[in-house]
Amino acid sequence: MNFDQIYYASAQHKEHFLALVNTKKSNESGYYSAYYILTSSKEIWSLAKKHTQSEAIDFDKILEHGLISSYKSLVLLAQHLFMASNSFDLDRALESWDQPSYSVALQAIKLRWTLSRESAEDL
């Protein structure tokens, strides 16, 4: 997948996301969609970066910080896309998201779906 042609919330979003992608050795779609969300805003990334490594993401630690509801919903979506958690509530998320957050959420879902399909085709 060409990560240069997807939606990014900002130039910093793209920079941080691509830096994480370049450290990842396997093609696990859950990581990419989570990385995408966690790097989408300065506020989320400043809390998430110390709990995000190339082979592990500690969502509990990230969620311990008092994120505003729209960011918390994005992090919960990242967790759901990463490990199919049950804590993501779509109705609550849709109520809290502004247009940029909604666009990030849609792109993260597209990433997960596309990369899952590509992985299945490789088998």
Instruction: Determine the pLDDT at residue 10.
Output: 96
Residue-wise pLDDT for 22-62, tens only, equals: 887 666 788 899 999 999 999 999 999 999 887 789 999 99
Confidence check: pLDDT of 123 > 60: no
Q: What is the per-residue burial (b if ≥16 Cβ within 10 Å, else e) of 102-113?
A: eebbebbbebbe
Residue 5 reports pLDDT greater than 60: yes
Mean per-residue pLDDT for 69-95?
92
pLDDT band at 95 (very low <50, low <70, confident <90, very high): very high
Domain assignments of the chain as residue spans, ordered by start: 9-122
Mean pLDDT of the chain: 90
Q: What is the mean pLDDT of residues 95-105?
A: 95
Task: Provide mean pLDDT across the span 98-104.
Answer: 95
Is the per-residue pLDDT at 119 higher than 70? Answer: no
